[in-house]
Amino acid sequence: MIPVRGYKGANVAVLGLGRSGLVAARALSAGGANPICWDDNPAARETAESEGFTCRDLSKQGAFEGVAALIVSPGIPHLYPKPNPVVRAALEAGVPVDNDIGLFFRSVATPQWDNYEQPPRIIAVTGSNGKSTTVALLQHILESAGRESQLAGNIGRGVLDIDPPGDGGIVVLELSSYQTDLARALTPDIAVFTNLSPDHLDRHAGMGGYFAAKRRLFAEGGPDRAIIGIDEEEGLYLAGQLSEGNGDDRVIRLSNTRKLTGAGWNVFARKGFLSEYRKGKQAASIDLRAFTGLPGAHNHQNACAAYAAARCLGLAPRLIEGALETYPGLPHRSQIIGDAKGVRYVNDSKATNVDSAAKALGAFKKIRWICGGLEKDGGLDGLKGAAGNVTKAYVIGREAAQFAMQLDVEAEVCTTMERAVAKAAAEAEAGDTVLLAPAAASFDQYDSFEKRGEDFIAQVEKQLNAKSGA
């Protein structure tokens, strides 16, 4: 655990007692603070009280008297679409509002670091799509290289729940816009921006606010190295803001759509090959096409980001290449479930928005596409023209009929995962891929994208067992 520094003897309110909130309370206590906890869910309060924490209704008049700060869990809105009443009360009382990410960055460095031969390094990854794969891939590279490393944030453990990093240790963080938007301290050594596409727009009052939340990691943090995907206008703009000139190699530009050979430091992927260029000259090249854990151009972009971060740490290209080749992939992200009679089944339940689904559709040929769910802001217009590899769509979700009418491919309304998988499996031919890439949130039918993916896997296994006569 990372004991929180700076609040010894102070009362610190904690709103939201899920994973990050409860860990924040523990870390505050470990640092000598007095956590005052609240959650609207009685079961969450009961759990906190069973650990000895004080729970007090923070919505009551005068709740913030004598309170030094309010720590808010990521899912609780602090500004848009409107502030949570407790957050507003804290702001009215002049109490600073922060989150566990801010506490982590203000607390992780200790005087002990002065005695290390190599100070620990913090790598933070943000963006719309590919964050989880990028950090998991980077963690895999570091493990393959024998480097001490820990994975935390929006994936793995909560940031305050990790062990204090040792001499030369590396902490790899996945950070969502919910986390970067509020953190009062953001000081990574290396920061990565993968890409940007519409998502969480209600929470950030549109694309401008969404981009601003991501940009804070770079503008507030001032990382030593900034790795920026420049295939969208926002990334190109951000790279330009951070760079002092076209030869400034503190900014590493990434692309999976074009060759980058400028005077600075560039990493790009084209036609399945990753290339690194420095000062206009090629420094390395890796053939990604046969790496089964990284199918499609979107995963090649993730490989570029993880490769660039590993190079910033001084790892050799050949070592990185070996790790990329053995990367097994993450559950629910281009996860190959099985193959029967030439038909491949792929679970990409994490493709919860239009952009990520479009990228998944570009990674395979002859697709039997299972899609649908709770539509996000912006509709499905971004899928127009992206379904050229789709033979047929099988639409799930409570609003499956409305979803299907917006697609520019043949679509059958199936509603349930069971029916969609059964129909797709029955109609698939050798060479086809049955792909779950919903382009929508899961909450109309499932508690999470993981539950949706698990249902897909279960239904696929049922079909495979039936075909094998098991």
Q: Is residue 383 part of a domain?
A: yes
pLDDT for residue 363: 87
Tell me which residue range forms the domain holding 366. 335-463
Whether residue 130 is annotated as binding a ligand: the answer is yes
User: Same structural domain for residues 226 and 348?
Assistant: no
pLDDT band at residue 376 under the 50/70/90 scheme: confident
Q: Is residue 470 part of a domain?
A: no
User: Same structural domain for residues 207 and 350?
Assistant: no
- Please spell the DSSP secondary structure of 170-194, one letter per residue: EEEEE--HHHHTT-S----SEEEE-
pLDDT for residue 466: 82
Please say which residue of 38, 63, 98 terminates a domain. Answer: 98
Please list, residue by residue across 385-421, b when 16 or more beta carbons sit within 10 angstroms of its beta carbon and e when fewer do: ebbebbbbbbbbbebbeebbeebebebebbbebbebb
Whether residue 6 is annotated as binding a ligand: the answer is no
Whether residue 133 is annotated as binding a ligand: the answer is yes
Percent of the chain with pLDDT over 90: 85
User: Same structural domain for residues 123 and 260?
Assistant: yes
| Per-residue pLDDT tens digits for 330-369 | 889 888 898 888 999 999 999 998 988 998 999 899 999 9
Based on the structure, what is the number of domains in the chain? 3
User: Same structural domain for residues 301 and 380?
Assistant: no
User: Same structural domain for residues 114 and 247?
Assistant: yes
Please say which residue of 41, 68, 98 terminates a domain. Answer: 98
Backbone angles phi, psi at 70, to 5 degrees: -115, 125
User: Same structural domain for residues 182 and 77?
Assistant: no
pLDDT above 80 (res 467)? no
Higher-confidence residue of 75 and 89: namely 89
CATH number of the domain enclosing 60: 3.40.50.720
pLDDT above 70 (res 470)? no
Q: Is residue 468 part of a domain?
A: no
Q: Is residue 6 part of a domain?
A: no
User: Same structural domain for residues 399 and 454?
Assistant: yes
Measured CA to CA in angstroms, residue 297 lies from 289, 294, 327, 343, 360 at distances of 10, 9, 16, 21, 9
pLDDT for residue 385: 85
| Per-residue pLDDT tens digits for 270-303 | 999 999 999 999 999 999 998 988 988 889 999 9
Measured CA to CA in angstroms, residue 296 lies from 150, 289, 334, 356, 391 at distances of 27, 8, 9, 12, 18
Mean pLDDT of 48-70: 96
| Per-residue pLDDT tens digits for 149-193 | 999 998 878 999 999 999 999 999 999 999 999 999 999 999 999
Whether residue 127 is annotated as binding a ligand: the answer is yes
Q: What is the mean pLDDT of the chain?
A: 94
Please list, residue by residue across 32-69, b when 16 or more beta carbons sit within 10 angstroms of its beta carbon and e when fewer do: ebbbbbbbeeeebbebbeeeebebeebeeeebbeebbb
CB within 8 A of 219, min separation 6: which ones? 241
Instruction: Say if residues 410 and 392 touch (Cβ distance below 8 Å).
Output: yes
444's enclosing H/E stretch is none
Q: Is residue 34 part of a domain?
A: yes
CATH number of the domain enclosing 427: 3.90.190.20
CATH number of the domain enclosing 205: 3.40.1190.10
User: Same structural domain for residues 68 and 31?
Assistant: yes
- Crossing angle of helices 19-30 and 42-50, in 10° steps, is 30
Q: Is residue 453 part of a domain?
A: yes
The alpha helices in 54-167, defined as continuous H runs, are 85-92, 100-107, 131-144
| Per-residue pLDDT tens digits for 381-405 | 888 888 899 999 999 999 999 999 9
Q: Is residue 76 part of a domain?
A: yes
pLDDT for residue 381: 84
User: Same structural domain for residues 310 and 217?
Assistant: yes
For the ranges 204-208, 320-324, 336-340, 463-467, which has the lowest average pLDDT?
Answer: 463-467
What residues pair up with 13 in beta bridges, in sequence order? 36, 70
Percent of the chain with pLDDT over 70: 99
pLDDT band at residue 469 under the 50/70/90 scheme: low
pLDDT for residue 329: 84
| Per-residue pLDDT tens digits for 236-271 | 999 999 999 888 999 999 999 999 988 999 999 999
pLDDT for residue 247: 85
Whether residue 132 is annotated as binding a ligand: the answer is yes
